[in-house]
């Protein structure tokens, strides 16, 4: 028997699938899988960063669908829908476990509104159209049997890295690898510091650069839904440089991976993306998976670096690019977002 374990992200609504979720989380460990999820009642726009990170770190994705579409994001798409779209975009091997006849379930576990029922129906149709193999269940016992039968098959058909308990390898070899890795990290850090010194010594003047209330056209890719159909499209929003800074600046008072900047800009676009897309596609009712284009994100990043509001930060042992507001950047951001006191005029 192998010592390898696989991480499985479980996407499911909360209150209507309590028993079924329990069956899934109790069955998977016996199959060599570690279930992970984020409880529905704790989700928010900010939590999507953590959700995406968990999906990225997981080997497999499991969608458990009962008779609810679930809590909605501001874009009009439910969290489980967003999780599915993200996992599909990342090409995660997945199991889709869908209730055979959701209309026969008790009324208290079904969608309460007409809009909710329509969106749930559209989501089911989308899954059935996009996925060749969907597993249907009627009760908790069905779920257990399906998991026991198809989880090993999923692992066999889509081998994943998984993880193995530390210490199972050769201790001397592990020590050599760790030592060599640490030396390489130190050398990379030294080269990064040399590069930063060179860039600062040859920095261009920020005079003439767009900033403040100057408007920038932020281009992004997203998935637009209309009448149950979905298509990948490109759209754009016009935001000022101050709006962009405020979207991520408060999160960079301490060093953070640059992914945080991208995630916060994507969240900022979430609030206006539906209106942006509807200008060109009027029948669109929901927009998901908003991702600023790489070229646009790099332009934004370099602009704030050139303005002296952002700086790169070296983090020993971490190969990601970390960023932080500079002292002038903090002062500038505070000047943008601080609330001014309103002075009352004396009565005449």
What is the reported pLDDT for 200?
A: 53
In a domain, 51, yes or no: yes
Residue 15 has pLDDT above 90, yes or no: no
Quick one: 75 and 139 in the same domain?
A: yes
Query: The domain spanning residue 310 has which CATH number?
Result: 1.10.10.10
pLDDT for residue 345: 62
Same domain, 78 and 209: no
Angle at 267 between CA 262 and CA 269, to 5 degrees: 95
Residue 69 and residue 204 in one domain: no
Query: Within this chain, do residues 131 and 210 fall inside the same structural domain, yes or no?
Result: no
What is the number of structural domains in the chain? Answer: 2
Residue at a domain's end among 96, 131, 157? 157
pLDDT in tens, 69-98: 998 887 788 999 999 999 999 999 999 999
Helix (H) or strand (E) holding 237: strand 229-240
- Please tell me which residue, 194 or 58, carries the higher pLDDT value: 58
186 within domain boundaries:
no
pLDDT at 198: 58
Domain boundary among 137, 157, 177: 157
Same domain for 61 and 204 = no
Closest CA to 206 of 300, 307, 298: 307
Percent of the chain residues topping a pLDDT of 70: 84
Instruction: Convert the pLDDT of each residue in 173-227 to its tens digit.
Output: 666 767 777 777 777 667 766 666 655 554 445 678 899 999 999 999 998 998 7
Report the CATH number that the domain containing residue 26 is assigned in CATH: 3.40.50.450
Instruction: Flag whether 348 is in a domain.
Output: no
| 45 domain residue, yes or no | yes
In a domain, 183, yes or no: no
Residue 16 lies in a domain: yes
Confidence of residue 320 (pLDDT cuts 50, 70, 90): confident
Structural domain that includes position 305: 193-337
Please state, in angstroms and rounded to a whole number, the distance separating the CA atoms of residues 326 and 308. 7
214 shares its domain with 300: yes
202 shares its domain with 316: yes
For 103-146, what is the HEC assignment? HHCCHHHCCCCHHHHHHHHHHHHHHHHHCCCCEEECCHHHHHHH
Per-residue pLDDT of 252-305, as tens digits, reads 999 998 889 999 999 999 989 999 999 999 999 889 889 999 999 999 999 999
In angstroms, the first-to-last Cα distance of the chain is: 88
Same domain, 144 and 215: no
Q: Taking a C-beta distance cutoff of 8 angstroms, is the pair 97, 64 a contact?
A: yes
Question: Do 111 and 232 sit in the same domain of this protein?
Answer: no
CB burial readout 298-336, b (16+ within 10 A) else e: eebbebbbebebbbbbeeeeeeeebbebbeebbebbeeb
Q: What is the token pair recorded at 128?
A: 């059935």
Give the residue from 157, 173, 207 where a domain finishes.
157
pLDDT at 249: 93
Task: Give the model's pLDDT for residue 202.
Answer: 46
Asked if 242 and 150 sit in the same domain, the reply is no
Residues 18 and 96 grouped into a single domain: yes
Query: Residue 270 and residue 274: Cα distance in Å, rounded?
Result: 8
Query: Looking at the domain assignment, is residue 112 inside a domain?
Result: yes
> Is the pTM for the entire model greater than 0.85?
no
Within 10 angstroms of residue 114's Cβ, the number of other Cβ atoms is: 8
pLDDT of residue 41: 43
Q: What percent of the chain is modeled with pLDDT above 90? A: 51
Q: Is position 177 within any domain?
A: no
199 and 81 inside one domain: no
Can you give the pLDDT at residue 95?
A: 95
């Amino acid at each position: 028997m192998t010592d390898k374990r696989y991480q499985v992200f479980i996407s499911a609504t909360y209150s209507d699938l309590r028993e079924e979720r329990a069956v899934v989380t109790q069955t998977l460990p016996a199959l060599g899988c570690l279930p992970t999820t984020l409880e529905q009642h704790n989700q928010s726009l900010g939590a999507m960063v953590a959700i995406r990170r968990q999906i990225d770190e997981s080997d497999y994705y499991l969608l458990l669908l009962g008779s609810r579409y679930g809590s909605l994001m501001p874009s009009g798409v439910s969290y489980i829908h967003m999780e599915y779209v993200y996992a599909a975009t990342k090409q995660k091997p997945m199991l889709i476990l869908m209730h055979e006849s959701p209309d026969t379930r008790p009324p208290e576990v079904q969608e309460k509104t007409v809009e909710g029922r329509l969106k749930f129906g559209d989501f089911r149709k989308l899954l059935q159209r996009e996925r060749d193999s969907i597993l249907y269940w009627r009760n908790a016992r069905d779920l257990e049997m399906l998991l026991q039968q198809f989880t090993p098959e999923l692992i066999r058909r889509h081998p994943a890295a998984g993880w193995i308990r530390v210490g199972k390898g050769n201790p001397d070899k592990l020590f050599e690898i760790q030592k060599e890795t640490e030396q390489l990290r130190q050398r990379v850090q030294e080269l990064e510091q040399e590069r930063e010194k060179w860039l600062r010594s040859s920095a261009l003047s920020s005079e003439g650069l767009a900033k403040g209330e100057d408007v920038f056209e932020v281009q992004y890719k997203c998935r637009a839904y209309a009448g149950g159909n979905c298509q990948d499209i490109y759209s754009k929003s016009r935001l000022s440089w101050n709006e962009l800074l405020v979207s991520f600046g408060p999160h960079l008072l301490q060093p953070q991976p640059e992914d945080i900047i991208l995630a916060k800009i994507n969240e900022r676009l979430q609030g206006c993306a539906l209106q942006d897309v509807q200008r060109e596609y009027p029948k669109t009712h929901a927009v998901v998976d908003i991702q600023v284009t790489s070229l646009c994100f790099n332009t934004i990043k370099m602009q704030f670096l050139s303005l002296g509001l952002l700086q790169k930060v070296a983090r020993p042992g971490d190969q990601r690019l970390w960023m932080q507001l500079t002292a002038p950047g903090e002062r500038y951001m505070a000047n943008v977002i601080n609330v001014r006191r309103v002075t009352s005029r004396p009565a005449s």
